[in-house]
Structure 1
Amino acid sequence: MKRPDLQYNYYYPFYTQSCIGEKKYYYKVDTIIHISDNKGILLSVGYKQKKVSEIKVCEVTDPKILLNTRFDGTLIHYTDFAKVVNKVYRTLSGAVRELSPEKSYVKQLIFSYHFKHSDSVEIEIDYKNIHLKFDEFDYVIENGQRKRAKYTPSDDDIYLNKLQEVVDIIDEKTKYIEIDNTKFNERLDRVWESFIEFFESPKLIRKNEYKIK
């Protein structure tokens, strides 16, 4: 009997998913749409005690990451990918509505980001990256700088004290410039809309690279 050729053809786009961590504590589900050998879009959803704690949507341009997830991750159907996109969209849009009364900033350290926050929600946007976090944030922004709540350091915990020193230096170097909320919303829409065409159900597949037009 002739052995069948079972090699899988990875025509683009295809979708992979991997889970990191323990569901009991913290874990994240990374879902990628592979557009070519060196381009993809990551939708990462982090969970803390089974509640969404973090969302990240970004472009992936590292061929090694894409290759590793191709073989180490799980291939999923488009319908499963669409469920992840819907979850990310609903979570992001809900957070943006919650943050609508808050001030918007350009956050400057080495690079610049559009930034917005409240006591429990924080969102940061750059050219090809949307990063949303849910937590209890212990800081305010005053006079263009982040002011954190002060805690009494323990002389016994050397490593924690060193870490706090690093955090203080970063806060000191980071500047926050207030901008109009419309500019923040425009940046968010522009970055999000650069992704969503690839989130639609593909009408065809390509051997080397999936293109919309």
Structure 2
Amino acid sequence: MRRLIVSTFASLDGIMQAPGGPEEDPTGGFTLGGWMFGYADESMDISASGFDGKDREVVLGRRTYEIFEAYWPYQPDDHPIAKTLNAAKKYVASRTLTKLHWNNSILLHGDVVSAIIALKAQPGADLQVIGSGNLIQTLQAASLIDEYNVWTFPVVLGRGKRLFSETVKPSALRLVRSQVSTTGVVMNTYVPGGDIQPGSFPSAEPSEKELVRRKKMTNGMW
């Protein structure tokens, strides 16, 4: 079975909306598009983290597909990222699109979870999700993601579309690779780590003050 890999840019507070430019996605009144600008350096291996789709088949949500479709086919033929993305096979999850115009693009029909399960079972290259926040949340809830590449930029945005919402499925992750760029971007790779194992540090019997505090919480007064 081939792997499903997710790669995304995020702010320190988990926002992934419009990292590339102000016009990328201003929906919801978001005015900070282009927040990753100025943080690039030579240590950032775009290809190793799957952001260019090299040697993989790409899976995109509808909004990310439309952003990419309007940009990458119009870049110079020798642009390395355009070259790999334009050539890659692309699967698009959408309830509204009926026709795709970017070459090598295939529309996923019906339930996206079932479609991805079927794709993972097929032989071929690993599947690569780029951006596509809503799709990531759907696939995370279905426990279909095998690897997360999250590049966290040293910015706090305060509002915008988040990588994970309050409806996320609680789960543990295991860090398998980590690197920090000279500009402070933390490039981490995680794999699923099973269920979260809650616990507490050993301590003496709770103090009287602690018992009062707990009672206040129980009564909704804390």
Tell me the TM-score normalized by structure 2: 0.21
Q: What TM-score, normalized to structure 1?
A: 0.21
Structure 1 or 2: more helix by fraction: 1
Higher strand share: 1
